[in-house]
Amino acid sequence: MSALTPPTDMPTPTTDKITQAAMETIYLCKFRVSMDGEWLCLRELDDISLTPDPEPTHEDPNYLMANERMNLMNMAKLSIKGLIESALNLGRTLDSDYAPLQQFFVVMEHCLKHGLKAKKTFLGQNKSFWGPLELVEKLVPEAAEITASVKDLPGLKTPVGRGRAWLRLALMQKKLSEYMKALINKKELLSEFYEPNALMMEEEGAIIAGLLVGLNVIDANFCMKGEDLDSQVGVIDFSMYLKDGNSSKGSEGDGQITAILDQKNYVEELNRHLNATVNNLQAKVDALEKSNTKLTEELAVANNRIITLQEEMERVKEESSYILESNRKGPKQDRTSEGQALSEARKHLKEETQLRLDVEKELEIQISIRQEMELAMKMLEKDVCEKQDALVCLRQQLDDLRALKHELAFKLQSSDLGVKQKSELNSRLEEKTNQMAATIKQLEQSEKDLVKQAKTLNSAANKLIPKHH
């Protein structure tokens, strides 16, 4: 937009201001934006020359600024209202690719840029609305978190990009209206950044801040790490708000079909999500069944080991009792060796007893784990049944929506057919009317001819009557 006009050598102050304003927001000066019900009307004004003439026109800068403020306020009303209605009809969280949301940020950016004072830097004059937005953290402490997050974003290199990121984070926090009201109420701080007749310094800014309260019903989620907010071009798309007279007929039916399609897409997405959940639960059930089978096998091995240990224990007891009896009957000199064997047998018995206790503890642990897994299996089966019931209901709703869609499409086709039939009947009636008019004209002409013939016959009869007398 900045390359629309070539630079001139000696621009006058008035034409220089008008040219600069037109170069930044050309749509604001060439048209007057007004609202016709829920639609946008662009009324063309007298053209403002973007190149200074030898004899410059004496336009009032205050009038131009007031016109720009009114245009921006009306655009903000339309964008906020359209965003709320479309978001509620959509029924899901908005992201950065949603067109009405993108247009809302573009309009807000133009509102914040209106009447900004240019700061002189080493590279020239620079206008950025990031400076006023940084003041919000001094007025509202909750905004300090947003400002810190914006400064920590690695991909932002320009103040414009930081300001755009700040607007998105404030909308996600549902505090944009509160922050704008706090900023507009401090005119003495804003006067450092804005001209006295800028939008943020006038009544229109307070109206826009009040309109932003309605955006608290919207849920938005932005991922700004991959977005290039520095180099985006903010151009307002008027086609989203202009009313087309040819397409106004049947807009109600199109709106219903659009709503049904949105509901259909939502139900299909929910259906896919539920299918994925059911598949995950089925995979978990299969894994639990495998682990349950493995634990059952381990339990059987542990039971077999316990049985063998019990048998070995009985055998050791029998051997020890036999050794004791033989020691009582045998000579005393053999008792020492037998005592050593008995101590070894007792030691072996203690070890086997400890091993048996460890195996029993492990068996109890395995039994408790198996019970927990059986309970988890039952809960998972119950959850799967509930998900399957919900899936059946959603599929039924999807079938109903498809039937309703087909019915609406059939009604729309039948209405179009009826309109065509009526237009054909109307054309036939017009042809018959024209034919009847031509027949009437012919009858009138023949009547005139008959009257003339009657007159001639009367005159001839009148001439014949005296001759007979």
Q: Given the DSSP bridges, would you call strands 39-44 and 31-36 parallel, antiparallel or unpaired?
A: antiparallel
Cα–Cα distance for residue pair 169/154, rounded to 1 Å = 15
- Are residue 382 and residue 274 in the same domain, yes or no? yes
What mean pLDDT is reported for the chain?
Answer: 77
pLDDT in tens, 326-361: 766 655 545 566 667 778 878 888 888 888 888 888
Of 118 and 3, the structure prediction assigns the larger pLDDT to 118
Q: Are residues 216 and 239 in the same domain?
A: yes
Looking at the 3D structure of the chain, how many domains does it have?
Answer: 2
With a cut of 60, say whether residue 17 has pLDDT above it.
Answer: no
Can you give the pLDDT at residue 191? 87
What is the pLDDT at residue 443? Answer: 92
- pLDDT of amino acid 12: 41
Give the pLDDT of residue 120: 59
The answer to whether residue 76 scores a pLDDT higher than 80 is: yes
> How many CA atoms lie less than 13 Å away from 387 in the CB half-sphere?
19
Give residue 380's pLDDT.
85
Upper half-sphere CA count for residue 400 (Cβ side, 13 Å): 8
The answer to whether residues 147 and 166 touch, using CB atoms and an 8 Å cutoff, is yes
**31 and 130 in a common domain:** yes
Question: Given 389, 415, 441, which residue is the final one in a domain?
Answer: 415
Q: What angle do CA 354, 360, 365 make, to 5 degrees?
A: 130
pLDDT of 206 higher than 60: yes
Same domain, 141 and 89: yes
pLDDT attached to residue 39 = 45
**Full DSSP string of 357-404:** HHHHHHHHHHHHHHHHHHHHHHHHHHHHHHHHHHHHHHHHHHHHHHHH
CATH code (residue 387): 1.10.287.1490
Same domain (yes/no): 204, 266: no
> Which pLDDT value is given to residue 435?
92
Q: 112 and 158 share a domain?
A: yes
Does the pLDDT value for residue 99 go beyond 90?
Answer: no
If asked whether residues 30 and 72 sit together in one domain, one would say: yes
Q: What is the pLDDT of residue 434?
A: 92
Q: Is pLDDT of 394 > 50?
A: yes
For residues 306-319, average pLDDT: 84
Half-sphere exposure of 279 (CA within 13 A, CB side): 6
In a domain, 453, yes or no: no
Residue 152 in domain: yes
Q: Is residue 2 part of a domain?
A: no
Inside any domain, residue 468? no
φ, ψ (nearest 5 deg) of residue 257: -65, -40
pLDDT at 429: 92
Q: At 22, is the pLDDT very low, low, confident or very high (cuts 50, 70, 90)?
A: very low
pLDDT of residue 436: 93
Mean pLDDT of 283-293: 85
87 neighbors 104 (Cβ within 8 angstroms) = no
Mean pLDDT of 371-383: 86
Together in a domain, 17 and 159:
yes
Q: Are 45 and 32 in contact (CB under 8 A)?
A: yes
Q: Which whole number is the average pLDDT over 28-52?
A: 45
Is the per-residue pLDDT at 316 higher than 60? yes
Are 336 and 191 contained in the same domain? no
**Which of these three, 393, 415, 437, is where a domain ends?**
415
Q: Give 55's pLDDT tier (boundaries 50, 70, 90).
A: very low
Query: What residues contact residue 135 under an 8 Å CB cut-off, 6+ apart?
Result: 183, 186, 189, 190
- 232, 278: one domain: no
425 lies in some domain: no
Query: Mean pLDDT lowest for which of 192-201, 300-309, 327-336, 429-438?
Result: 327-336
The pLDDT value given to residue 236: 76
- Whole-number Å distance between alpha carbons of 20 and 50: 8
Report the sign of the C-alpha dihedral through residues 304, 307, 313, 317, in that order.
Answer: negative
Structure-token match 């033989």, residue found: 326
Q: What is the mean pLDDT of residues 29-46?
A: 47
pLDDT of residue 404: 87
Question: What is the structure's pLDDT at 207?
Answer: 92
**pLDDT for 110-125, tens place per residue?**
999 888 887 655 444 5
Percent of the residues in the chain that have a pLDDT greater than 70, as a whole number: 76
Decide which of 212, 243, 274 is a domain's last residue: 243
pLDDT class of 52 with cuts at 50, 70, 90: very low
Same structural domain, 286 and 185: no
What is the domain range of residue 371? 257-415
Q: What pLDDT score was predicted for residue 121?
A: 54
Sequential DSSP letters for 120-134: EETTEEE--THHHHH
* Cα–Cα distance for residue pair 320/328, rounded to 1 Å: 13
What average pLDDT does this structure show over 209-219? 88
Do 285 and 381 form a contact (C-beta atoms < 8 A)? yes
Tell me, what CATH number does 219's domain have? 1.20.58.900
**pLDDT tens track for 252-287:** 556 667 767 777 677 777 777 788 888 888 888 888
Q: Please determine, for residue 440, whether its predicted confidence score (pLDDT) is greater than 90.
A: yes
One DSSP character per residue, 321-346 reads: HHHHHHHHHS-GGGHHHHHHHHHHHH
**Of the ranges 3-17, 149-163, 321-335, the best mean pLDDT one:** 149-163
Query: Is the residue at 466 inside a domain?
Result: no
Say if residue 31's pLDDT is above 70.
Answer: no
Same domain, residue pair 313 and 288: yes
User: Does residue 317 belong to any structural domain of this protein?
Assistant: yes
* CA dist., res. 232 & res. 437, Å (int): 66
* Assigned domain for 444 exists: no
